Structure 1
Amino acid sequence: MCGFKGFEKIADATTSKDAWDILQKSYGGDSKVKKVKLQALKRQFELLEMKNDEAVADYFTRVETLTNQMKNCGSTLSEEEMVEKVLRTLTHKFDHIVVTIEQTRDLSEIKMEDLQSTLEAHELKHGERNHGKEDEQALFVKFKKYQDEKKKWQNKKGSKEEEKSEY
Protein backbone atom coordinates (compact mmCIF):
# COMPACT_ATOMS: atom_id res chain seq x y z
CA MET A 1 0.00 0.00 0.00
CA CYS A 2 1.21 3.44 -0.86
CA GLY A 3 1.08 6.13 1.83
CA PHE A 4 -0.05 8.84 -0.62
CA LYS A 5 -3.72 9.57 -0.10
CA GLY A 6 -4.46 10.57 -3.71
CA PHE A 7 -2.62 7.70 -5.34
CA GLU A 8 -5.82 6.18 -6.72
CA LYS A 9 -6.44 9.36 -8.68
CA ILE A 10 -3.07 9.31 -10.44
CA ALA A 11 -2.48 5.54 -10.69
CA ASP A 12 -3.33 5.52 -14.42
CA ALA A 13 -1.26 8.62 -15.28
CA THR A 14 1.53 7.83 -17.73
CA THR A 15 3.67 10.93 -17.12
CA SER A 16 4.39 13.14 -14.18
CA LYS A 17 2.67 16.01 -16.05
CA ASP A 18 -0.51 13.92 -16.36
CA ALA A 19 -0.32 13.15 -12.65
CA TRP A 20 0.23 16.84 -11.83
CA ASP A 21 -2.71 17.93 -14.00
CA ILE A 22 -5.01 15.37 -12.34
CA LEU A 23 -3.95 16.47 -8.85
CA GLN A 24 -4.27 20.13 -9.72
CA LYS A 25 -7.84 19.65 -10.97
CA SER A 26 -8.73 17.44 -8.00
CA TYR A 27 -7.38 19.65 -5.26
CA GLY A 28 -7.02 23.10 -6.76
CA GLY A 29 -9.95 22.98 -9.12
CA ASP A 30 -9.82 24.12 -12.69
CA SER A 31 -10.33 27.77 -13.57
CA LYS A 32 -14.09 27.43 -14.10
CA VAL A 33 -14.59 25.83 -10.69
CA LYS A 34 -12.39 28.50 -9.08
CA LYS A 35 -14.46 31.25 -10.71
CA VAL A 36 -17.69 29.77 -9.39
CA LYS A 37 -16.17 29.35 -5.91
CA LEU A 38 -14.86 32.90 -6.04
CA GLN A 39 -18.28 34.29 -6.93
CA ALA A 40 -19.82 32.48 -3.96
CA LEU A 41 -17.05 33.72 -1.66
CA LYS A 42 -17.42 37.31 -2.93
CA ARG A 43 -21.13 37.14 -2.15
CA GLN A 44 -20.37 35.89 1.36
CA PHE A 45 -17.85 38.72 1.74
CA GLU A 46 -20.41 41.32 0.62
CA LEU A 47 -22.97 40.02 3.14
CA LEU A 48 -20.49 39.61 5.99
CA GLU A 49 -21.29 41.64 9.11
CA MET A 50 -20.26 41.47 12.73
CA LYS A 51 -22.84 39.82 14.98
CA ASN A 52 -24.10 41.74 18.03
CA ASP A 53 -22.68 39.25 20.52
CA GLU A 54 -19.48 38.53 18.56
CA ALA A 55 -16.02 39.36 19.88
CA VAL A 56 -13.68 41.45 17.72
CA ALA A 57 -11.14 38.60 17.51
CA ASP A 58 -13.82 36.17 16.30
CA TYR A 59 -15.04 38.62 13.66
CA PHE A 60 -11.51 39.22 12.38
CA THR A 61 -10.99 35.46 12.16
CA ARG A 62 -14.13 35.14 10.01
CA VAL A 63 -13.04 38.02 7.75
CA GLU A 64 -9.51 36.70 7.32
CA THR A 65 -10.65 33.12 6.70
CA LEU A 66 -12.99 34.30 3.97
CA THR A 67 -10.41 36.61 2.36
CA ASN A 68 -7.81 33.82 2.39
CA GLN A 69 -10.28 31.51 0.63
CA MET A 70 -10.89 34.25 -1.94
CA LYS A 71 -7.14 34.68 -2.47
CA ASN A 72 -6.82 30.92 -3.03
CA CYS A 73 -9.35 31.28 -5.84
CA GLY A 74 -7.43 34.09 -7.50
CA SER A 75 -8.93 37.21 -5.91
CA THR A 76 -6.66 40.03 -4.90
CA LEU A 77 -8.10 42.01 -2.00
CA SER A 78 -5.94 44.81 -0.71
CA GLU A 79 -5.36 45.43 2.98
CA GLU A 80 -7.23 48.73 2.58
CA GLU A 81 -10.31 46.95 1.18
CA MET A 82 -10.29 44.57 4.12
CA VAL A 83 -9.92 47.43 6.63
CA GLU A 84 -12.76 49.35 4.97
CA LYS A 85 -14.96 46.26 5.02
CA VAL A 86 -14.38 45.73 8.74
CA LEU A 87 -15.04 49.39 9.55
CA ARG A 88 -18.31 49.31 7.55
CA THR A 89 -19.62 46.15 9.16
CA LEU A 90 -18.88 46.53 12.87
CA THR A 91 -21.79 46.70 15.31
CA HIS A 92 -23.19 50.05 16.44
CA LYS A 93 -21.22 50.04 19.68
CA PHE A 94 -18.12 50.77 17.57
CA ASP A 95 -19.64 53.70 15.62
CA HIS A 96 -17.77 56.46 17.45
CA ILE A 97 -14.40 54.70 17.24
CA VAL A 98 -14.96 54.06 13.52
CA VAL A 99 -15.65 57.76 12.92
CA THR A 100 -12.52 58.66 14.86
CA ILE A 101 -10.38 56.23 12.85
CA GLU A 102 -11.83 57.41 9.53
CA GLN A 103 -11.30 61.10 10.41
CA THR A 104 -7.81 60.84 11.86
CA ARG A 105 -6.07 58.04 9.96
CA ASP A 106 -5.24 57.25 6.36
CA LEU A 107 -7.08 53.97 5.75
CA SER A 108 -4.51 52.93 3.14
CA GLU A 109 -1.85 52.85 5.87
CA ILE A 110 -3.78 50.86 8.49
CA LYS A 111 -2.83 47.21 8.89
CA MET A 112 -5.48 44.66 9.87
CA GLU A 113 -3.47 43.71 12.98
CA ASP A 114 -3.36 47.35 14.14
CA LEU A 115 -7.09 47.78 13.53
CA GLN A 116 -7.85 44.59 15.42
CA SER A 117 -5.79 45.61 18.45
CA THR A 118 -7.39 49.08 18.50
CA LEU A 119 -10.88 47.58 18.35
CA GLU A 120 -10.07 44.94 20.97
CA ALA A 121 -8.82 47.66 23.34
CA HIS A 122 -12.08 49.54 22.78
CA GLU A 123 -14.05 46.33 23.31
CA LEU A 124 -12.30 45.72 26.64
CA LYS A 125 -12.92 49.26 27.83
CA HIS A 126 -16.54 49.14 26.67
CA GLY A 127 -17.00 45.75 28.33
CA GLU A 128 -15.65 47.03 31.66
CA ARG A 129 -18.05 49.94 31.60
CA ASN A 130 -21.02 47.77 30.67
CA HIS A 131 -20.08 45.18 33.26
CA GLY A 132 -20.32 47.89 35.92
CA LYS A 133 -23.71 48.97 34.56
CA GLU A 134 -24.96 45.39 34.57
CA ASP A 135 -23.94 45.02 38.22
CA GLU A 136 -25.62 48.34 38.99
CA GLN A 137 -28.80 47.25 37.21
CA ALA A 138 -28.82 43.91 39.02
CA LEU A 139 -28.52 45.69 42.37
CA PHE A 140 -31.33 48.05 41.42
CA VAL A 141 -33.59 45.12 40.47
CA LYS A 142 -32.83 43.36 43.77
CA PHE A 143 -33.50 46.57 45.70
CA LYS A 144 -36.77 47.13 43.81
CA LYS A 145 -37.90 43.55 44.56
CA TYR A 146 -36.97 44.07 48.21
CA GLN A 147 -39.04 47.26 48.34
CA ASP A 148 -42.01 45.53 46.69
CA GLU A 149 -41.83 42.62 49.16
CA LYS A 150 -41.52 45.04 52.06
CA LYS A 151 -44.67 46.91 50.91
CA LYS A 152 -46.60 43.65 50.58
CA TRP A 153 -45.51 42.59 54.06
CA GLN A 154 -46.46 46.00 55.52
CA ASN A 155 -49.84 45.85 53.76
CA LYS A 156 -50.51 42.38 55.17
CA LYS A 157 -49.37 43.47 58.61
CA GLY A 158 -51.56 46.58 58.40
CA SER A 159 -54.64 44.62 57.33
CA LYS A 160 -54.14 42.14 60.20
CA GLU A 161 -53.94 45.01 62.69
CA GLU A 162 -57.15 46.46 61.25
CA GLU A 163 -58.84 43.08 61.71
CA LYS A 164 -57.70 42.95 65.37
CA SER A 165 -59.02 46.44 66.05
CA GLU A 166 -62.41 45.50 64.62
CA TYR A 167 -62.90 42.78 67.24
Structure 2
Amino acid sequence: MGLTGASFPANFPVLDDKNWNRWSVQMKAIMGFQELSEIVENGLPELAVSATEAEKTLYKEHKKNDCKAMFLIHQCLDEAHFEKISEAKSAKEAWGILEKCNEGVEKLKKVRLLTMRRQFKLMQMESGERIAQFFNRIISHTNAMKACGEKISDQTMVEKILRTLTPKFDHIVVAIEESKNIEELKVVDLQGSLEAHEQRLIERSIEKPVDQALQAQTSRKGG
Protein backbone atom coordinates (compact mmCIF):
# COMPACT_ATOMS: atom_id res chain seq x y z
CA MET A 1 0.00 0.00 0.00
CA GLY A 2 1.66 3.25 -1.06
CA LEU A 3 -0.09 6.26 0.43
CA THR A 4 2.80 8.61 -0.27
CA GLY A 5 4.31 6.78 -3.19
CA ALA A 6 6.63 4.82 -0.90
CA SER A 7 6.04 1.15 -0.24
CA PHE A 8 4.14 0.55 2.98
CA PRO A 9 3.26 -2.69 4.76
CA ALA A 10 -0.37 -3.77 4.62
CA ASN A 11 -0.31 -5.50 8.02
CA PHE A 12 -1.39 -2.52 10.11
CA PRO A 13 -1.68 -2.80 13.91
CA VAL A 14 -5.28 -3.24 15.06
CA LEU A 15 -6.58 -1.58 18.22
CA ASP A 16 -8.48 -3.85 20.60
CA ASP A 17 -9.35 -3.53 24.28
CA LYS A 18 -5.88 -4.58 25.49
CA ASN A 19 -3.21 -2.81 23.42
CA TRP A 20 -3.84 0.96 23.45
CA ASN A 21 -0.31 1.92 24.58
CA ARG A 22 1.45 -0.17 21.94
CA TRP A 23 -1.11 0.69 19.24
CA SER A 24 -0.91 4.46 19.83
CA VAL A 25 2.91 4.40 19.64
CA GLN A 26 2.78 2.41 16.39
CA MET A 27 0.10 4.68 14.90
CA LYS A 28 2.05 7.83 15.74
CA ALA A 29 5.03 6.36 13.91
CA ILE A 30 2.82 5.52 10.91
CA MET A 31 1.29 9.01 10.89
CA GLY A 32 4.77 10.51 11.06
CA PHE A 33 5.94 8.34 8.18
CA GLN A 34 2.96 9.48 6.13
CA GLU A 35 3.50 13.15 7.15
CA LEU A 36 0.06 13.25 8.76
CA SER A 37 1.02 13.91 12.41
CA GLU A 38 0.23 17.63 12.29
CA ILE A 39 -3.26 17.17 10.86
CA VAL A 40 -4.10 14.57 13.55
CA GLU A 41 -2.74 16.70 16.39
CA ASN A 42 -4.00 20.13 15.27
CA GLY A 43 -6.99 19.31 13.09
CA LEU A 44 -8.14 21.12 9.95
CA PRO A 45 -7.47 24.88 9.87
CA GLU A 46 -10.52 27.03 9.27
CA LEU A 47 -11.00 28.46 5.80
CA ALA A 48 -11.94 32.15 5.86
CA VAL A 49 -14.78 33.38 3.65
CA SER A 50 -12.38 35.78 1.98
CA ALA A 51 -9.72 33.12 1.41
CA THR A 52 -7.38 33.55 -1.53
CA GLU A 53 -6.98 30.90 -4.21
CA ALA A 54 -3.64 29.92 -2.65
CA GLU A 55 -5.31 29.48 0.76
CA LYS A 56 -8.11 27.42 -0.82
CA THR A 57 -5.55 25.20 -2.53
CA LEU A 58 -3.69 24.72 0.76
CA TYR A 59 -6.97 23.91 2.54
CA LYS A 60 -7.76 21.23 -0.06
CA GLU A 61 -4.33 19.70 0.63
CA HIS A 62 -5.03 19.72 4.37
CA LYS A 63 -8.45 18.15 3.75
CA LYS A 64 -6.87 15.45 1.61
CA ASN A 65 -4.38 14.68 4.39
CA ASP A 66 -7.19 14.54 6.93
CA CYS A 67 -9.01 11.99 4.78
CA LYS A 68 -5.83 9.93 4.49
CA ALA A 69 -5.37 10.01 8.26
CA MET A 70 -9.00 8.97 8.79
CA PHE A 71 -8.56 6.14 6.31
CA LEU A 72 -5.50 4.89 8.22
CA ILE A 73 -7.30 5.05 11.55
CA HIS A 74 -10.28 3.15 10.13
CA GLN A 75 -7.97 0.39 8.89
CA CYS A 76 -6.44 -0.06 12.33
CA LEU A 77 -9.48 -0.57 14.56
CA ASP A 78 -11.46 -3.56 15.67
CA GLU A 79 -15.23 -3.40 15.16
CA ALA A 80 -16.01 -2.06 18.64
CA HIS A 81 -13.60 0.88 18.31
CA PHE A 82 -14.73 1.64 14.76
CA GLU A 83 -18.31 2.05 15.98
CA LYS A 84 -17.13 4.60 18.54
CA ILE A 85 -15.51 6.88 15.94
CA SER A 86 -17.71 6.16 12.92
CA GLU A 87 -19.38 9.57 13.10
CA ALA A 88 -16.20 11.59 13.73
CA LYS A 89 -15.75 14.39 11.21
CA SER A 90 -11.97 14.63 11.36
CA ALA A 91 -8.91 12.57 12.25
CA LYS A 92 -8.30 14.80 15.28
CA GLU A 93 -11.82 14.16 16.57
CA ALA A 94 -11.49 10.41 15.99
CA TRP A 95 -8.14 10.27 17.80
CA GLY A 96 -9.58 12.24 20.73
CA ILE A 97 -12.47 9.79 21.07
CA LEU A 98 -10.10 6.83 21.05
CA GLU A 99 -7.89 8.42 23.71
CA LYS A 100 -10.85 9.15 25.95
CA CYS A 101 -12.47 5.74 25.70
CA ASN A 102 -9.16 4.01 26.48
CA GLU A 103 -8.35 6.10 29.56
CA GLY A 104 -10.40 3.76 31.76
CA VAL A 105 -8.65 0.72 30.32
CA GLU A 106 -5.24 2.25 31.10
CA LYS A 107 -6.27 3.13 34.66
CA LEU A 108 -7.38 -0.46 35.19
CA LYS A 109 -4.05 -1.69 33.83
CA LYS A 110 -2.20 0.49 36.36
CA VAL A 111 -4.24 -0.96 39.23
CA ARG A 112 -3.60 -4.50 38.01
CA LEU A 113 0.09 -3.72 37.61
CA LEU A 114 0.38 -2.51 41.21
CA THR A 115 -1.16 -5.79 42.38
CA MET A 116 1.13 -7.87 40.16
CA ARG A 117 4.21 -5.97 41.37
CA ARG A 118 3.34 -6.87 44.97
CA GLN A 119 2.76 -10.50 43.97
CA PHE A 120 6.08 -10.60 42.09
CA LYS A 121 7.90 -9.25 45.13
CA LEU A 122 6.48 -12.07 47.29
CA MET A 123 7.06 -14.91 44.79
CA GLN A 124 9.55 -17.57 45.82
CA MET A 125 10.31 -21.17 44.99
CA GLU A 126 8.20 -23.63 46.97
CA SER A 127 9.47 -26.73 48.70
CA GLY A 128 9.21 -29.67 46.31
CA GLU A 129 8.81 -27.41 43.26
CA ARG A 130 10.98 -28.18 40.24
CA ILE A 131 13.14 -25.54 38.55
CA ALA A 132 11.08 -25.71 35.35
CA GLN A 133 7.85 -25.14 37.29
CA PHE A 134 9.29 -22.17 39.18
CA PHE A 135 10.62 -20.57 36.00
CA ASN A 136 7.26 -21.07 34.30
CA ARG A 137 5.53 -19.26 37.17
CA ILE A 138 8.01 -16.38 37.11
CA ILE A 139 7.92 -16.00 33.31
CA SER A 140 4.12 -16.24 33.12
CA HIS A 141 3.78 -13.57 35.82
CA THR A 142 6.30 -11.19 34.26
CA ASN A 143 4.66 -11.61 30.84
CA ALA A 144 1.36 -10.51 32.38
CA MET A 145 3.14 -7.49 33.88
CA LYS A 146 4.69 -6.63 30.52
CA ALA A 147 1.24 -6.78 28.92
CA CYS A 148 0.24 -4.00 31.33
CA GLY A 149 3.18 -1.85 30.28
CA GLU A 150 5.85 -2.93 32.76
CA LYS A 151 9.45 -3.16 31.54
CA ILE A 152 11.32 -6.04 33.15
CA SER A 153 14.89 -6.85 32.18
CA ASP A 154 16.53 -10.26 32.22
CA GLN A 155 18.80 -8.94 34.98
CA THR A 156 15.81 -8.16 37.22
CA MET A 157 14.38 -11.65 36.65
CA VAL A 158 17.75 -13.36 37.18
CA GLU A 159 18.35 -11.51 40.46
CA LYS A 160 14.81 -12.30 41.63
CA ILE A 161 15.21 -16.02 40.87
CA LEU A 162 18.62 -16.31 42.55
CA ARG A 163 17.25 -14.65 45.71
CA THR A 164 14.19 -16.90 45.99
CA LEU A 165 15.41 -20.43 45.26
CA THR A 166 15.07 -23.04 48.01
CA PRO A 167 18.11 -23.52 50.32
CA LYS A 168 19.30 -26.69 48.56
CA PHE A 169 20.43 -24.45 45.68
CA ASP A 170 22.44 -22.09 47.90
CA HIS A 171 25.89 -23.35 46.90
CA ILE A 172 25.10 -23.30 43.16
CA VAL A 173 23.75 -19.74 43.53
CA VAL A 174 27.05 -18.70 45.13
CA ALA A 175 28.97 -20.41 42.32
CA ILE A 176 26.87 -18.66 39.65
CA GLU A 177 27.26 -15.25 41.30
CA GLU A 178 31.03 -15.70 41.55
CA SER A 179 31.65 -17.15 38.09
CA LYS A 180 29.16 -15.28 35.89
CA ASN A 181 28.38 -11.65 35.07
CA ILE A 182 24.84 -11.41 36.47
CA GLU A 183 24.16 -8.27 34.41
CA GLU A 184 24.65 -10.24 31.19
CA LEU A 185 23.18 -13.59 32.27
CA LYS A 186 20.05 -14.55 30.35
CA VAL A 187 17.07 -16.18 32.04
CA VAL A 188 17.15 -19.15 29.66
CA ASP A 189 20.86 -19.75 30.45
CA LEU A 190 20.24 -19.54 34.18
CA GLN A 191 17.41 -22.07 33.86
CA GLY A 192 19.69 -24.45 31.98
CA SER A 193 22.40 -24.25 34.67
CA LEU A 194 19.94 -24.76 37.52
CA GLU A 195 18.14 -27.66 35.81
CA ALA A 196 21.49 -29.41 35.24
CA HIS A 197 22.33 -28.99 38.94
CA GLU A 198 18.83 -30.15 39.93
CA GLN A 199 19.25 -33.29 37.84
CA ARG A 200 22.55 -34.09 39.60
CA LEU A 201 20.83 -33.69 42.97
CA ILE A 202 18.07 -36.07 41.89
CA GLU A 203 20.57 -38.67 40.66
CA ARG A 204 22.52 -38.47 43.92
CA SER A 205 19.34 -38.91 45.97
CA ILE A 206 18.59 -42.08 43.98
CA GLU A 207 22.13 -43.44 44.27
CA LYS A 208 22.33 -42.90 48.04
CA PRO A 209 19.61 -45.44 49.05
CA VAL A 210 21.13 -47.99 46.65
CA ASP A 211 24.57 -47.56 48.24
CA GLN A 212 23.07 -47.84 51.70
CA ALA A 213 21.25 -51.04 50.73
CA LEU A 214 24.46 -52.56 49.36
CA GLN A 215 26.35 -51.62 52.51
CA ALA A 216 23.63 -53.20 54.64
CA GLN A 217 23.80 -56.45 52.64
CA THR A 218 27.59 -56.51 52.95
CA SER A 219 27.38 -55.99 56.69
CA ARG A 220 24.88 -58.82 57.12
CA LYS A 221 27.09 -61.20 55.08
CA GLY A 222 30.11 -60.21 57.11
CA GLY A 223 28.17 -60.87 60.33
Same-fold status (TM-score > 0.5): yes
Task: Specify the alignment match of 1:38 in structure 2.
Answer: 113
CA distance in 2, matches of 1:43, 1:98: 24
Task: Specify the alignment match of 1:54 in structure 2.
Answer: 129
* CA shift digits 1:59-85 (9 cap, x unpaired): 111000000111111111111000000
Task: Specify the alignment match of 1:127 in structure 2.
Answer: 202
Residue 134 of structure 1, CA deviation:
3.9
Q: In structure 2, what residue type is equivalent to 1:107?
A: I
Match for 1:112 among 182, 187, 190?
187
Task: Specify the alignment match of 2:66 in structure 1.
Answer: none
Residue 21 of structure 1, CA deviation:
4.3
Q: In structure 2, what residue type is equivalent to 1:38?
A: L
Q: In structure 2, what residue type is equivalent to 1:133?
A: K
Pairing 1:80-119 to 2, within 5 Å after superposition: 80-119=155-194
Q: In structure 1, what residue type is equivalent to 2:114?
A: Q
Kindly tell me: are residues 127 and 32 of structure 1, through their superposed partners in 2, closer, same or farther at Cα, counting changes over 3 Å? same
TM-score normalised over the length of structure 1: 0.67
CA distance in 2, matches of 1:11, 1:112: 40
Structure 2 counterpart SS, 1:109: coil
Is there any run of 5+ residues in structure 2 with no aligned partner, and where?
1-16, 18-77, 89-93
Structure 1 counterpart SS, 2:121: helix
Structure 1 runs, 4 residues or longer, greater than 6 Å off: none
Identity %: 41
State whether residues 158 and 185 of structure 2, in contact with CA within 8 Å, keep that contact through their aligned partners in structure 1. yes
Answering whether residue 154 of structure 2 is matched by residue 79 of structure 1, we say yes
Aligned residue pairs: how many? 133
Kindly tell me: are residues 110 and 13 of structure 1, through their superposed partners in 2, closer, same or farther at Cα, counting changes over 3 Å? same
Kindly tell me: are residues 29 and 58 of structure 1, through their superposed partners in 2, closer, same or farther at Cα, counting changes over 3 Å? farther
Residue 93 of structure 1, CA deviation:
0.8
Q: In structure 1, what residue type is equivalent to 2:141?
A: L
TM-score normalised over the length of structure 2: 0.52
Answering whether residue 143 of structure 2 is matched by residue 68 of structure 1, we say yes
Residue 133 of structure 1, CA deviation:
2.2
State whether residues 81 and 98 of structure 2, in contact with CA within 8 Å, keep that contact through their aligned partners in structure 1. no
User: Greater helix share, 1 or 2?
Assistant: 1
CA distance in 1, matches of 2:148, 2:204: 43
Kindly tell me: are residues 108 and 11 of structure 1, through their superposed partners in 2, closer, same or farther at Cα, counting changes over 3 Å? closer
Residue 110 of structure 1, CA deviation:
0.3
